[in-house]
Structure 1
Amino acid sequence: MFKGLTNASVRLVERYLPDPFVIVMLLTLVVFALGMGIEQQSPVAMVEFWGGGFWDLLTFGMQMVLVLVTGFVLASTPFFRKILASLARMAKTPGQAIVLVTVVSIFAAWINWGFGLVIGALFARQLAQAVPRVDYRLLVASAYSGFIVWHGGLASSIGLLVATDGHFMEDKIGIISTSETIFAGFNLILVLLMLIVIPLVNRLMMGRPEDAVTVDPDKLAEEEETPGLKWERPADRVENSVTLSQATGVMGLVFLGYYFLVESGSLNLNIVNFAFLMLGIMLHGRPRHFLNSMQEAIKGAGGIVIQFPFYAGIMGMMIESGLAATFSQWFVAISDETTYPLFAFLSAGIVNIFVPSGGGQWAVQAEIMLEAGAALGVDHARTAMAVAWGDAWTNLIQPFWALPALAIAGLKAKDIMGFCLINLLVTGVIIGLGLMFLP
C-alpha cells in the first residue's frame, strides 16, 4: 500500500508539477491576487510592494550560488572524491544506498544547511556510481529529505537569532539560550525521530527493480574527470602553479583560525562558503584544475540566479501587504494552550511556501506568534522552534531550496518532489505531535 501511494504521488508530480521558474511566476500572481482580495490593497500598491522587494535577496542569492559552486568544487577534489567514494562503497544494495545517503545528509544538514545540501547531492552521485541499480530519483530525493532537520540544528537561524544580544525581539522576550531551543530535550528528540523515520520512509518508497530510473555511472564519472595540464603558453606556468594555490589557501586557513580562535566566531553561511573555497583551492593543487571544476559547477546556477529575485518580490508583497501577518493570525485564532505549537508549526509551513527564508519569515511572524503564545501560556522557546520546524518542513516541497541539490545531481524538481511529498506527510504528523506533547 505504501509503495502504491508513493507511485501515485510520483506520477502526480511528474505529470502536473511545472518547472520551478513557472512555479515562482504562478506564486507571484497568486500572492498579487490575495493581497488585493484579502488585504484590500490596490493593484498599484501590490506592484510597488513586488518591485520594491525584488532585489532584497541579492546577497542571499549570491550566497546560494556560492553554496553550490564552492561545495561542488571542494567535493570534486581528489581528496574528497576518495572519501565520498569510500563511504559509497559501504552500500552494496539499492536499499542500503537509500538509507546511507539519508543518514549522511541528515547529519550534514544538522551541522549546517548549506553543507548538508551540497554534501547530500554529491554523495548521491557517488552512490549512483557504486550501486548502479538504485533509483537515482529516489536517491537524490533521499539526500534532499535530510534538509528538514536544519532548523533544529547548529545553524538554526531562529534558534541562533533569539540567543543573540540585541535581536529585534529582545525587549519583549529577552535572550533565549540555545539550551532552551536547539539543545532542548523536545528538539533533540524530534531530530532523533527524523534520523529514524526518514531513512525508513525512504527505504519503504523503493519500488520494483524494473521500475527504477537509473543513471549511467560512467557518465557521472566522466563529468568528474580532471582535464590534463597544458603548457602551451608562458602564462600556463602561473595557471598551473601549485605554490600559488597553496599560498592563497594558507592565507584563508589563517583567517579561519583567527576567526574561530581569537574572535570566537560562529559558523554561518559566509564562513562555510569561505572555508569551502579556500580548501577547494588548496586541494585542487593548481589554479587551472580549480577553475575547470568551478566552470563545471557554475552551469547549474542559472535557476538560482533568475528565481531568487522573484521570491524576493513575493516576500515584499507578503510582508508589506499584511498577508503574512493575516495568515499567522488565522491560526492563532483557533489555537489553545495545547494545540498552539501545532498551529504555529502549520502556519509557518504555509508562510514558508511564499517566504522561503528562515530569517525573513521570523521577522514577519515573530511578534504575532510570540505574543499569542505568551497569552496562551506557551513558552517562548517552544513557539520559536515551532515556527522554525514549520519553516524547515515545507522546504521538502519548495523547489526554491532544492535548486542547488538538483543542479549538482542533474535532475529537475518533478523528478524528486513526488517522493518528497510522502516525506512531508509523514514528518508533518510526527513533528506536529512532538511539538504539542514532548516535554
Structure 2
Amino acid sequence: MTQLHSGSAPDQRSSRPPLMERFSQTIVAWAEKWFPDAYVFVVIACAVVGLGAFVHSGNAVATSKAFGDGFWSLIPFTMQMAMVAVTGYVLAMSPPVAALLRRVAQIPKTAKGAVVFVGVLSILLSLVNWGVSLIFSGLLVREMARRKSLGLDYRAAGAAAYLGLGCGFTLGMSSSAAQLQATPASIPASLLPITGVIGFDQTILTWQNLVVIVLVTVVSAVICYVSAPSAKATRTAEDLGVDLNADQIEPVKRQRPGDFLEFSPILTIIVLVLALGWLWNAFRSGNPLITMSQLNTYNFVFLLLGLLLHWRPRSFLESFVKAMPSVGGVLLQFPFYGGIGYMLTKVVDAHGVTLSDEIAHVFVGLAHDSGVFSLLVSIYSAVLGFFIPSAGGKWIIEAPYIMTAANELKAHLGWTVMVYNIAETLPNFINPFWMLPLLGILKLKSKDLVGYTAVQFIIHTPIVFLAAALLMMTFTYHPPVMPTP
C-alpha cells in the first residue's frame, strides 16, 4: 500500500496545470464570478469621480453640472467608435475578406499557438492602426473558433485580440500624443511654448521605443502561451453560448422588378466615383498611415471598401444590419465617460484648481530626477487613464504640467511623450472602455475577457514602468524646438 501511495503522488502532481496557468485561471474564475458588466463598471467610476470632485471643490451643484455638460461631449467620438465596429464588420463579411480570414485562421495548428498568433498579430496591426487591430483580430478569433478540431478557448483568444489596445497602439502610428506633438498646427497655442514641435524621430522612431515594442510583444506572447487553459479547462464559443453563424449572410435573389437597383452594382459605382476626388485630396500629401489614423477618414475608407467588396447594395445593407448589435455597449456607455472627464477637468476649488490638476501636482512634485520623474509620470498616466481612457484627449490635459516639469528636470521631451504612451494604455487591460467594440464582435461580456487581460496588466505594469524609467537615462535633454515660420 505504501508503494502504491508513493507511486501515485507524482502522477497527481504531474497532472496539475503549470503555475502560470493556475494563476491565470484563478483570476479568470474570480472575474467570471465578481467582475460586473461594463455598464455597472462605468457607473461605479462615475460615482467615485463624482465624490472626489465634490470633496475637492465642496460644490455639489458644480459637480452635477459638469457631469451633465460632459455627458454628451463625446457624441462625435461615440459615433466614430460605433462606425469603427460597424465598418469593420461590414468589410469582414464581404466575400473576399471573409475568404482571407478563413485562410489566416488555418495557420495556427494548436489552441495555445492560436492564442499567441492572435495576440502578436493584434499588437503588430495596432502599430499601424488600432481600429484595424481591434476589428480584424476579433473577427479572426471568430473564424478560428469555427475550427472545432482546434479546441480554441474563446475567452483567451478574445483577450489576445485585445492586446493591441492594451499595450501596442500608442507605440506606433496610432499614437495621438506623438502625432499631435509632431504637427505644429495641431499643438494648442498654450502648449507650444512648453513643448515645441517634437518629431517622430524623437518619439515613436527612436531605438528605445523599438526596444519597448519588442519587449511588450515578447512578454505578451509568453503570457498568452502560459496562461491559455489546458484542454480540460477550455471553454469554446459553443460552451459560452455564442452562435458563430448568427451573422452569416444568406444569398438572396431578386424577387420583383423594383429590386433591380438593390442587386445591381450601378449605385455602388456612383458612390465610389463621387468619393474618388475626396480620397485623392486626403491622401495626396502627407503620410497615408497618419491620414488613416484620423477616425473620420478611417471609417470613410472602410465604409467604401465594404461597399466595393460587397459590390451589390443588397449584400452591403444586410451586412450593415447584422453589424448593429455590436455597438450597443458603445452607444450606451461612452457618454458616461464624457461626464467623468468633465468632472475631473472642469470642477474647480476656490483656487481654480481641478481634481486632475491636484492629482498631477502631487505626483510631479515628488520627482527629483528624470528617472524618478519617468516612473511618476507612468504611475499618474496609468491612474488617470483608468478614468479618462482617451489617449489624445488626456494628453491635452496632462501635457502642460508634465512637460513643464520635464523642462525643469531636464528630462527628454520626446521620451516623456513616450513614457506617457507606454503607461497610458495599461488601464485598458482592466477598463472595458475600448473593449466594447470587440465584445460586440465576439458576443461576450467584459467578465469573459478581463480575467486574462488582468494577468497581462499585472505582469506588464512593473516591466514597462521600469523599462521606461531606465531608457530615460539614455537620452540627452534638448530645449523645445519652435516651428519655423
TM-score of the pair, normalised by structure 1: 0.96
- Letter in structure 2 aligned against 1:373: A
Give structure 2 stretches of 5+ with no counterpart: 1-18, 348-353, 475-485
Q: Match of 1:348? A: 381
Q: Look up the equivalent residue of 1:233 and give its one-letter code.
A: R
Distance (whole Å) between structure 2 residues aligned to residue 88 and residue 99 of structure 1? 13
TM-aligned CA deviation for residue 258 of structure 1: 3.0
Closer, same or farther: CA 418–221 of 1 in aligned 2, 3 Å: closer
After superposition, residues 366-377 of structure 1 pair within 5 angstroms as 366-377=399-410
User: 1:223 and 2:246 equivalent?
Assistant: yes
* Partner residue in 2 for 1:129: 146
Match of 2:94 among 60, 77, 82: 77
Q: Report which of the two structures shows the higher radius of gyration computed on alpha carbons.
A: 2
- Tell me which amino acid in the other structure corresponds to 2:394: Q
Describe the shift of the 1:249–1:132 C-alpha distance in structure 2 as closer, same or farther (beyond 3 A): farther
1:376-397: CA deviation from partner (whole Å, max 9, x where unpaired): 2211111111112222111111
Which has the higher mean CA deviation after the structures are superposed, 324-333 or 249-258? Answer: 249-258
Given candidates 149, 152, 167, the residue that maps to 2:168 is 149
> Which piece of structure 1 moves more, 1-10 or 250-259?
250-259
Show structure 1 runs of 5+ residues with no match: none
Please report how far the alpha carbon of residue 261 of structure 1 lies from its aligned counterpart in structure 2 after TM superposition.
Answer: 1.8
Q: Could you say if the C-alpha distance between residues 251 and 221 of structure 1 is closer, same or farther in structure 2, counting changes exceeding 3 Å? A: farther
Bigger share in helix: 1
Cross-structure match for 1:327: 359
Residue 195 (structure 1) shift: 1.7
Deviations 1:44-91 (A, max 9, x none): 110011111111101000000000000111011111111111111111
SS in 2 for 1:222: coil
How has the CA–CA distance of structure 1 residues 258 and 128 changed in structure 2, closer, same or farther, with 3 Å as cutoff?
Answer: same
Deviation for aligned residue 1:222: 2.3
Aligned equivalent of 2:422: 389
Distance 1:333 1:206, change over 3 A: same
CA contact (8 A) 2:268 2:308 kept: yes
Provide the C-alpha distance between the structure 1 equivalents of 2:276 and 2:157, rounded to a whole number of angstroms. Answer: 34
CA contact (8 A) 2:194 2:403 kept: no
**TM-score, normalised with respect to structure 2:** 0.87
Q: Whole-Å Cα distance in 1 between the matches of residues 366 and 109 of structure 2?
A: 50
Deviations 1:17-43 (A, max 9, x none): 111111111111111111122x13311
Matched-pair contact (CA < 8 Å) for 2:237–2:244: no
SS class of match (2:283): helix
Q: Distance in 1 between matches of 2:438 and 2:404?
A: 37
User: Which residue matches 1:303?
Assistant: 329
Counterpart of 1:47 (choices 57, 64, 87) is 64
Of the candidates 398, 412, 433, which is equivalent to residue 400 of structure 1? 433
Q: 2: distance between equivalents of 1:85 and 1:251? A: 32
Paired with 2:410 and 2:325, the residues of 1 have a C-alpha distance of: 51
Gap change, CA 1:111 and 1:48, over 3 Å in 2: same
Residue of structure 1 in register with 2:454 after alignment: 421
Residue 224 (structure 2) pairs with residue 202 (structure 1): yes
- Contact kept in structure 1, 2:247 and 2:322, CA below 8 Å: no
Contact kept? 2:223, 2:456, Cα under 8 Å: yes
1:90-129 → structure 2 map (5 Å cutoff): 90-129=107-146
What's 2:477 paired with? none
Write the letter of the residue equivalent to 1:309. Answer: P
Q: Which amino acid counterpart does residue 22 of structure 1 have in structure 2? A: V
The Cα of 1:243 is off from its aligned counterpart by 2.4
Residue of structure 1 in register with 2:8 after alignment: none
Write the distance in 2 (CA, Å) between the matches of 1:87 and 1:185. 31
- Answer yes or no: is 1:379 the counterpart of 2:412: yes
1:282 counterpart residue number: 308
Tell me the amino acid that sits aligned with residue 41 of structure 2.
I
Asked whether the 8 Å contact 2:142–2:244 carries over to 1, the reply is no
The one-letter code of the counterpart of 1:154 is M
1:27 is matched with: 45
Distance 1:263 1:367 in 2: 27
The equivalent of 1:190 in structure 2 is: 212
Instruction: Name the SS for the 1:400 alignment partner.
Output: coil
Deviations 1:189-217 (A, max 9, x none): 11111221111111110222011110249
The 3-state SS of whatever aligns with 2:223 is: helix
Instruction: Using the TM superposition, give the Cα deviation of residue 102 of structure 1 relative to its aligned residue in structure 2, in angstroms.
Output: 0.8
Where 2:250 maps in the other structure, the secondary structure is coil
CA distance in 1, matches of 2:64, 2:244: 47
Q: Which residue type is aligned with residue 182 of structure 2?
A: A
* DSSP 3-state at the match of 2:384: helix
| 1:229-283 deviation line (CA, Å, top 9, x unaligned) | 2322332111111222233234434532332125766222211111110000010
Distance 2:276 2:105 in 1: 29
For the 8 Å contact 1:111–1:155, the answer to whether it is kept is yes
Deviation at 1:4, TM superposition (A): 1.7
Identity of aligned residues (%): 31
Q: Is the 8 A contact 1:115 1:272 kept in 2?
A: no
The 1-side partners of 2:459 and 2:57 are apart by: 37
Judge conservation of contact 1:230–1:236 (CA < 8 Å) in 2.
no
